[in-house]
Amino acid sequence: MLIETGIPTAEDLQSVTPPAGRLARGAVAIAECFQKIPCNPCTRACPRHAIRIEPDINETPQIDYEACTGCGACIARCPGLAIFVVDMTYSDSEALVMLAFEFLPVPEAGQLACGLDREGKELGWFPVVRVVSGGKENKTYTVSLAVPRELAMEVRNIRAGGYQNGKQNG
């Protein structure tokens, strides 16, 4: 149960996963936010107004997948680190997963980072494609990893520190 373990169930995840057809068309945000709390920075961050919290601020975010371009502006604005972007069209064999990251040291593009699932289990070492700072006021970075397509909906964090140079995968 989510409230006891902090880990969403398959049913929880299914309720926030974009349809397969939308995933096949390119980058899209996914909000794995399941608690009803007063929070809405993601709605203000989205330049396309694709994220709504209705009827009031205590609801969970709903993403209009057709309006979402997967730009990732919402990722670093989520205080719960619950928003991710997945791009299943990154390559024939890999997906790009954009994750919020708040630890030091911050990985660098070209390094490998250890990808973790929602329980913190290691899924492999994956190339860091891009790192974007949240800015001077926001210490949250957005780290983009190239992961095997079959792991795109599983990789949800990276292990802090211990990054590697190289090109291994999995």
Task: Label each residue of 125-166 as H, E or C.
Answer: EEEEEEEECCCCCCCCEEEEEEEEHHHCCCCCEECCCCCEEC
Note the pLDDT of residue 1. Answer: 60
Note the pLDDT of residue 135. Answer: 85
Scan for tokens 């205590």, then name that residue. Answer: 58
Note the pLDDT of residue 167. Answer: 63
Q: Radius of gyration (Cα) for the chain, nearest Å?
A: 15
Note the pLDDT of residue 82. Answer: 95
Note the pLDDT of residue 168. Answer: 56
Structural domain contains residue 138: yes
Structural domain contains residue 77: yes
Note the pLDDT of residue 52. Answer: 96
The number of folded domains in the chain is 1
Note the pLDDT of residue 49. Answer: 96
Structural domain contains residue 170: no
Query: CA-CA distance, 53 to 68, in Å (whole number)?
Result: 15
Structural domain contains residue 169: no
Structural domain contains residue 37: yes
The residues of the chain scoring below 50 in pLDDT are 170
Given a contact cutoff of 8 angstroms between Cβ atoms, the answer to whether 126 and 115 are in contact is yes
Instruction: List, for residues 32-80, the tens digit of each pLDDT value.
Output: 999 899 999 999 999 999 999 999 999 999 999 999 999 999 999 999 9
Q: Residue 143 is part of which domain span?
A: 2-164
- Share in percent of the chain as helix, strand, coil (round to 5): 15, 30, 55
Structural domain contains residue 108: yes
Distances (CA, A) of 123 to 55, 61, 89, 153: 38, 28, 21, 12
